[in-house]
Amino acid sequence: MSSRRAPPAIRLGVNVDHVATIRQARGTAYPDPVEAAKLALAAGAASITLHLREDRRHIQDRDVAALVAHDARIVNLEMAVTEDMLRLACRWKPACVCLVPEKRVELTTEGGLDVAGQLDAVRDACARLARAGIQVALFIDADPLQLKAARRSGAPHLEIHTGRYADTRGRAQTAELQRIATFARTARRAGFEVHAGHGLTVDNVGAIARIPDIVELNIGHAIVARALTLGLPAAVAEMRRAMHEARAA
């Protein structure tokens, strides 16, 4: 029998933003991110992330409301630290909120939240969300300065930004991985539950999933992209069947 202790379990949170991106591109009712969320949960996802952006480019208010109505316990709402968003979150009461920085022109969330630079606003937001019974995560870079500020924020969870790890290769990537692992250990020892996400794919997730201090990974773009290619043969076959059955009738 091996004497190695098993590392703690790791959960997958599936981000369904880009299901909504495809819907919004044509203004149709499909694909429905809430239906995608139900499929992801049935396939073993522990939670579902939706980022309600200020410009509503993908997820809409009705998506969040519908997913919360389905099961608020699995909803992780990503949002900026703004009055509008805080009001909506306190009304919907998802189980979790992840506070992120947001710039209108960015393609995706670029860099972590500057907790140190806006500690009062972040602390107020954490207190308000906690009063509504919502668990808060701060999405931050693996930066000791941000950790120091996060310790004064009242947030129980941190999500480490893995974007730079995902975008680098070779020595730079190894250094970034080491930085994330060290940060995760320090954050866990400081009492935070530690999550990570951004840019993770089946090819690069392994090294992050091996870090024992990280208990949750939130992954979206790569899963939705992979679903398109994995599901394409079935979608083509289904359409051909519908056409041929109509001809044969």
Which chain residues interact with ligand PXP by CB under 6 A? Answer: 15, 17, 51, 78, 98, 100, 108-109, 139, 159, 197-200, 218-222
SS3 for 158? strand
Nearest to 66 by CA among 55, 77, 81: 77
CB 151 within 8 Å of CB 157: no
Phi-psi region of 7 (alpha: psi -120 to 50; beta: other; left: phi over 0): beta
CA 105/CA 213 separation, integer angstroms:
33
What does the block give as tokens for 247? 């001809």
Per the CB < 8 A criterion, the answer to whether 153 and 122 are in contact is: yes
Sign of CA dihedral 117, 165, 197, 60: positive
Q: Catalytic amino acids?
A: 51, 78, 198
**CB 57 within 8 Å of CB 90:** no
Nearest Cα residue to 54 out of 17, 90, 80, 25:
80
Closest CA to 53 of 100, 9, 7: 100
Q: Which two tokens stand for residue 39?
A: 């499929």
Question: In the bound complex, what is the minimum distance in angstroms from residue 17's beta carbon to ligand PXP?
Answer: 6
